[in-house]
A and B are shown apart, each in its own frame.
Chain A
Amino acid sequence: MPEAATRIEPTTFPMLPSSTVIGLFSLLHITFASLAVAFIILAPIFEWRGQANRFYLEAARSLTRFAMVTFSTSLVLAVFVVELLIGLFPLTNSWIFNRFRYPIYFACSAFVLGLLLLQAYHHFWEPIRRRNPGLHLTLGFGGACLMLTWVAILDGMGSSMLTPVETSSPWENLLNPTWIALVIHRLFGDFVFAGFALTGYAGWMLGRREDPAETLYYGSLLKTGFYIGTAALFIQPATGLLYALRIQEAVPKAFHQAVQGRYQPLVYLQFTLVALLFVENHLLLNGARTNPSALLSAFEKKRLGQRGSLWGEGALLLSALLIVVFAAHPWPRRFFTLILLALSAYFLYLNRQNLSTAGAKLNRPTVRRSAVALGISGLLLYWTMGIIRETARRPDTVLGKISLKEEAGAPKYFVDLRAVRPETESRAAGGADQVPEGPGIHLSGPSPPH
């Protein structure tokens, strides 16, 4: 190793371990990015539905505005993550970008085009819609498809760090065992978080607004967000099972480490949050139909005669509790998740009429609090699942290829030419009169005074 390279200390971040620093910025980034991805997909769908219902048109515009306003922040946070990766984990960074160079070109092209379409979709909303609503919808759907392409390729890079494949083709690196499963699981995860974030935001705003028109808008937004989040939540156990089975099949050790290893408390935290989402979901449903002041309306006497008996609700709570208890035991946990899912679906079916006609009824403390709790739990769950995936690889950064220990050393490729070309030192002292030759310069011909 050249002498100068050894004189530079490896890059470190003060107070915090390198993984934690990258983790913090990644969590901040995915908070905005996951919402943006889901909103960009939902916006044109809402706009399409807005032909019959004005609410959806307003909601579509709000979702797009949020995605575009937070776009730069999210991107700069992504730059932070990449820059930290370059500085703190240079080997991993080199490996990823070298192995995925062609997919990255493709993803970047998709992103540029998507960005252009979405800028036009958002900033020229009215003019384009006035002239050609179909074109505007096409811009929205086109932008969403291109953003999905970008996200899918990034997931390919992320998944290959856990399940890398031995190949010399950059495209085949993308086709690692957990790629598709991760893309699907992440996409529905985005919808869970985005749906419940909308629910939480609408619940919070309902408590701050007294204007009937605004109450109606936020009531509708709460319902819509709730339906989106709940639908995705019901699908997520299946996509999660697919992803878990793929990991178990490809890298059993990593799966075992995630579920049974030193980071096991994170798994318990994850299933506690999953259980909370189901319970809060149920509380919101109950809140929409019963006494406005009751938080745990299931235990009120007056509800004993109503549909959805205490027994059913007790079973729902018990199964929620049991998925936490059996968090580290996959098959019993999956069994109780199925029961929880079935009961939740049953109660949603029973309450479908209440919710669809709720309107102003939703502006109640129980509903608002449950809605905000759903938003917070959704975010915490998203963060927890992101962390679990990363811990499964430790102490490797790319499983079986690059370890944290290797990253801690100073790279060899730093070369200080002054160490091998001492004459350049004298050049600075000689000033402008001396013009020595560099490695690529060949001075020739007359050099008259200038």
Chain B
Amino acid sequence: MSSSADAPPTDAVGESLATGTDTTSRKTNNPSDTNAKSTRYASYNFAYLDEQTKRMIRRAILKAVAVPGYQVPFASRDMPLPYGWGTGGIQVTAACIGPDDVLKVIDQGSDDTTNAISIRAFFQRTTNVRVTERTTEATIIQTRHRIPETPLTEGQIFVYQVPIPEPLRWLEPRETESRRMHALADYGVMHVKLYEDIARFGRISTSYDYPVLVNERYVMAPSPTPKFDNPKMDNCPALQLFGAGREKRIYAIPPYTKVVPRFRRSSLEVQRWDDVCAPCGAEDGYLDEVVIVDKGGRCSPVQTRTTARRDAPRTSRAGTGRRARSVSTRRGGRDLMAWDDELPLLTVDGLSKNFGRTIAVDDVSFELWPGEVLAVVGESGSGKTTLLNGLGAGLPVDAGRVHYRKRSGEEVEITTLDEPARRLLTRTEWGFVHQNPRDGLRLGVSAGANIGERLMAVGARHYGKIRGEALAWMARVEIDRSRIDDRPATFSGGMQQRLQIARNLVTRPALMFMDEPTGGLDVSVQARLLDLLRQLVTELSLSVIIVTHDLAVARLLSHRMMVMQRGRVVELGLTDQILDDPQHAYSQLLVSSILQG
């Protein structure tokens, strides 16, 4: 091993890495060790792993130290014990340990459990190092869950065994997306977990593996360390290393690094009031914020009091209602010729996208105005979904420009917009409804959390208000309010689709992208959805680009229609013009193929 190439960044690592593999020069400072044992295991390399593996792991460790909290992938080896018993920690320890080290192993705060004893024995036999039960004596401490009460000191290495290194794992199933979220520090979704806790237990119940923010950059899962041990990680003089064997990740907290809980205590609060209900004197419920003019004070309506914190105060809709109203007034007050003065919301200019030699979208241009619904129709493979993804889902395009006018009036160019800004836009001003609701929902968290996610992502922190909004939207999309704490996995396809729509609409987007939203639905649910969408388009001045196969849906919902064939727009015009008087041969074929009901 070349020591100049792998220069250890800390004394602790340096101390243990600067060792050879010469087992004969090992100090036999453990009195319990016998010659019989060392000869028995002499065929193993020092610390079990071969030197190339150690080198690979040390490289991962160095990278992890250089980027605190970042999960470094490594080629985890098979160890002589099953995954879940500390294989990650053992590999990290084996890569760091030298003959002069003193090892301590803790499991669940104890040195005497089977796991702790067997890991200790493993290293005794393969390295012959001294072992101890005293924190102060140890140079390397491997742990599962607990951090010792005795303060760690400089020069010590503290190795955690980690089962699940990814703090976003239960929220975001896609590994690629999780990594992108880390890269962009896009951690709004973490609040969803807190919401779930409160919804289920009435408080933040996460008591272990409580996410922390390392060096003000990466959110890190501190393995199943109890929440009350987390403060010991902050500004710790020892080097802390985390090894996840099954998940093949190593990450680290270098000495004296800032580690704070990801959430302040108040970051998602269940608000309580000190005063009582003015008219009835109730103390045990939510207080509505509706001021009673003649008496003063606040009231707790019966339904919110009896259901305590499970249900939301009615105030939650006040803020957003006001916004919705002002939108509709503006629309209603629009004078006759104002149409001509208004600027388009979205301007697409020469958009093209190829997949290799296949042209998916070829030079598509159109404009979309506020409050307008544009249907995109065409046969399978005509590029409809690619177009939609290129506009609304960040799919890189090969040519063309897409200008979007934000609520603030500022115009942005979507294809060159940087990813964090694009994500913010998709969360605040846009919505995307996928054909398969499973692509657009978080199936692992409740319906309420699914609706609340976007609110929390844009800064909502009041639990009651989030829940109130969620309930209001569930009612709007006709999902039984009692299902708010159920996971969408238990919903029918139609309910999932409606939930997906509610989840998108909760932040009142200006622009919705919809990919066959009524595709797999039975006709009664489809009718409900169509009605809902039409209402929202009128009331919220929502603009929609909807991809659909169903020309009847397009006729009822859309103002304009775009017919696509082989990636090109063959006809674009008023929906009824195209359906009643199609000009292009392909449009005529499409219209003539409608089944007469």
Q: Do A and B come from one complex?
A: no
